[in-house]
Amino acid sequence: MILHQDDVIVVVNKPAGMPVHRSRLVSDGDAYLIDVVRAQLPGRLHLIHRLDRATSGVLLIGRSPEVAATLGQQFMQRSVQKTYLAVCRGWPAERGTLDYPLPGVRENSERKAAITHWRRLQTTEVSVAVNRYPQQRYALVEITPETGRYRQIRRHFAHLRHPLIGDTSHGRTEHNRLFKQYFGSHRLLLHAHSLSFNHPLTGERLCIEAPLDAEFTRVLHAFGWLLPHATSRASSALPHPQL
């Protein structure tokens, strides 16, 4: 789980389905990530940012209030670059940006600026009928959010009509069910793949990547998709899965 640690920071790979910490919105977790890390490392730990419970990937933790404040300032100034991998329904444009303000946790709350950039990496067609369509299209996308609103990526891709697979709040039940039945995927296919930031003491630019878990990796293998650094960007086609 720990990707990097030194005297001032810890970077971890959060598992999908594990809440980051106990809150008024989440109080039913079997385990909370910050508690798991605290059991492994001595000293005080301070969360710098959050990931949704269903999302996996890179999470940054400070080891003092001063370091937490410095890193928090980088997030506020948008000098931290976050890159995600996700699987969505349909084939979005090869590249795009969505500038669409979003409310907070409550839908009737004030909308704030929310900007998401994406790049389509791979595509596939699956010969399984859903509703009136005999084949289904899916894509692997690399996503770079410029802002960090509540469930921003999930809500933005739902707005684009390319909901993420495994999203039980903003996605499509029939496509989530298809991935469970044919590909053994029961999770939200959204992963915080890399985080780039300046080290709070040395100023060195760090880029830390989190590997995909077995379930996400299984989906990539099923579609013949490659990870971004080796992506051919060629479309693939799947035969009808064996029942």
pLDDT tier, 238 (very low <50, low <70, confident <90, very high otherwise): very low
| Mean pLDDT within 123-135 | 95
> Reduced to 3 states, what is the DSSP secondary structure of residue 222?
helix
CATH architecture of 2-238: 2-Layer Sandwich (3.30)
| Mean pLDDT within 222-243 | 54
Long-range contact set of residues 18-27: C-beta below 8 Å, sequence gap at least 24: 18/53, 19/53, 20/47, 20/50, 20/51, 20/53, 20/59, 21/47, 25/105, 26/53
DSSP 15: P
The 10s digit of each residue's pLDDT in 146-195 is: 999 999 999 999 999 999 999 999 999 999 999 999 999 999 999 999 99
pLDDT tier, 106 (very low <50, low <70, confident <90, very high otherwise): confident
| First CA to last CA distance, the chain | 35
Domain definitions of the chain by residue range: 2-238
Tokens of residue 67, six digits:
């370091």
pLDDT reading at 237 higher than 80: no
Active site residue 52: yes
| Mean pLDDT within 74-85 | 96
pLDDT reading at 52 higher than 80: yes
pLDDT tier, 51 (very low <50, low <70, confident <90, very high otherwise): very high
Is the CB of residue 138 less than 8 Å from the CB of residue 123?
A: yes
Write the single-letter amino acid at 62.
Answer: G
Q: Catalytic one among 7, 28, 52, 213?
A: 52
Residue with more model confidence, 104 or 119: 119
Query: Which one, of 209, 241, 199, lies nearest residue 222 by Cα?
Result: 241
| pLDDT for 113 | 96
Tell me how far apart the alpha carbons of residues 81 and 30 are, in angstroms, rounded to a whole number. 31
